[in-house]
Structure 1
Amino acid sequence: MPVRRYDSAVVDVAPLGQPLKFEFSGKVAKNRFYKASMAEDLASWSVENFEERGIPTKELIELYRIWGENEWGIIATGNIDIEFDMLDLVGDGIITPECPFSGPRFEAFQEMAKVSKANGSLIVAQVTHPGRQLAARIRKDTISASAIQHPPKNGAEYARPREATKEDIARVIDGFAHAAEYLDKAGFDGIQLHGAHGYLIAQFLSELSNQRTDEYGGSISSRLRLVSEIAREVKRRVRPDFIVGIKVNSVEFQEKGIKPAEARIMCETFQELEFDYVELSGGNHEEIGYGSKKETTLKREAYFLEFVRDIVPHLSRTKKFLTGGFRTTAAMVDALAILDGIGIARPAAQEPRLARDILSGKVTSAIRPVDGIVNDVMLSANTAGSQMAQIVRGQEPFDLSDEKAVESYKADLGTHFQKFAAANGSLEFHGFPELSSPNITSHPYGVPY
């Protein structure tokens, strides 16, 4: 069966191939494609030995080598956490303030940067702290802007947070800054502060989760204080040409979140802090925001473009990227009227060669998954994780437009969830579903369906 793709109007894709210079660092991306962050679960893991957690493995490095050879202007990593036991997911990369600028961990990050950049891409690390989104199975307690526990979601229980003390905040600032310095020395081109998707920085930014009465709570200027202090300390420790970006959320720009009227203050602050770029995305663990069925959203294609229109007028020197929903070259080129770059995540797991194939004229859109995948966040996130695992095993990612392949995968996902339940919270069990059908595991990487 032929691969199904989204229909796209015929457009000149030359704008997508234009270089992009960042004003503050001076770094230049070779094109406008931004491979956005995804959870890979390919770093090392040990239940007992914290020092053996979060080191890039040969599989993770291979994944970035493949993206690096496929014409992505910027490659953003999955989450790199700043604590060994406060992490987004088992299998994340980890850099804590105790990690030295030498040794096996440092050398692995060096190799990861080297292979990503071998063909001219820039590599930017997404650095994060989960705050109240820490899974209770990893650790029972955590910190947040305020002591407001995250409600259970999809069967997951979250750690109980306490309001972060000044000492906790100092540790967080040091964690982000040390990670930035570490990655700079390892050869990365920059970092992105994860201020979206309900993680710790977003918890400070949003009134929904920040009810503090000290200098870190209240007005938007006060809620931005943590971001400001992190950014200044990062800038103090890294070279002038090191990119510093930030990801922010659309869901937080709602009632009890960051109000649209506050967007101007936030954007002015980002430029004063000399953020090279802002990646605009959406959703958190409570309300993901992806896959909206609004007719205007479906026509618009990029899920959060309405949100972006409120923000971009206030960003002139800081570049703007948007991640979420781009699938056709027509929509990508059209969006460059208000954006500087196009963020693509899950299609880059299905098609690591997508940026190259679009720029060469080989394709005009991404593969179109069968109905029901895009709007099912759990299913689509797991398919991307399994596809990335296929890539590093030398397999072509299974075709999400093939109904038989998807049905086979759903059966594997069901088996995976059963094993997860049987593990009863054990941290030994992690990862994405293993594929059982020879039809989707025997296709060599690089040979399209």
Structure 2
Amino acid sequence: MSYLDTILFAIILSFGISFFVINIKKIIRNIKLGQDINRSDNSAQRWSNMAMIALGQSKMIKRPIAGILHVIVYLGFVIINIEVLEIIIDGLFGTHRVFSFLGVFYDVLIGSFEILAFLVLVAVIVFLIRRNVINLKRFVSSDLKGWPKSDANYILYFEIVLMSLFLLMNASDYHLQLLNFGHYELAGAFPISQFIEPIFNGIPETTVMMIERFVWWLHIIGILCFLNYLYFSKHLHILLAFPNTYYANLNPNGQFDNLASVTKEVKLMMDPNADPFATVPIDKNAIPSKFGASDVMDLNWVQLLNAYTCTECGRCKSSCPANITGKKLSPRKIMMDTRDRLEEVGKNIDANKGVFVPDNKTLLNDYITTEELWACTSCNACVEECPVNISPLSIIMDMRRYLVMEQSAAPQPINAMMTNIENNGAPWPYNQQDRLNWKNE
């Protein structure tokens, strides 16, 4: 590489990484808009979850076909990109295959990269067929029309292009190695691209070198484009799956959190020794400004991290009993709506120099309807199925809490039950004197 090439490479690399860092900072800023919650407990279990679920893909392979294909693509993405380190060093210092001094180990590495690249191509083609030809039910839905559907395909096209460029780059490099042309010395093993290499027979060496350099540049620019595309894509989960599984709720499914202020009042009411007329100092910090959540700022930061991590795979939706029986609820849509609203709030803050200006919109009603919220059976099937430990149910329950405690807007059967509890001490419409009449029948 010439001196000018090295400078150009450094500029492109700096621009690509800088743009990525700027966007990641926006995501972190948006996540921090959520309410504080402590998830620093039981670090050993959290590290184990991250290793097993995010790194080990343990929940993905519960559905073997999609799971194994996803593991192949995931491994390909992680392992093949080790070569990016070599490309960066070569680009910055004008070297070529700088790690070739590793000898046999380098041969094994390049050979492994090639086999993985080929497997990734096969897996991605299968994914495209599943989404666009077979049309699996969980991919054919009103919440996956427009951009979400296109995004899923774009990322697969990206993978095909990147893997193809990788193999073509190696094939042209290998051809020049066989000719001992210039600085192209024998280095690496090419179990896949050796079958592509013959297409360069009869082409002048200088032309093949130009092709190799052109493909090399396209490959690294493509990787940088892919990196920055993640910010706009559901595939941000490639990065966020790790913190998301680490900070996931460790409580058993079905165990809900209680508001400290409400719990305290209930305990006082149930304590026979409590003085109802005693003056209790008001702890302003213990009283929430709002019960439940009506907008993204009312949710906690882990829930907002969940929204950005959603893979839109639809496993939650396909296992949701409410959705299966025709109800409007889609746990996937709950997460997508939360992320869309959070992005809208973030853009509002950007447009107003770091301050959110009320826009007369909320997550509740403008994005998520009460019909969706009350359709949920709170069975936790969506939480159990999610491959990256997202909890749509926690958002649903917080929004329900707002409807009940702030707006008294529960459905009529629930309001009737609460009225019965208040008047009769039980959810049934019988007074306390008549409650045991059944035993005389």
Instruction: State TM-score, norm by structure 2.
Output: 0.20
Question: RCO (CA 8 Å, sep 6+): is it higher in 1 or 2?
Answer: 2
- Rg larger in 1 or in 2? 2
Structure with a larger share of its residues in strand: 1
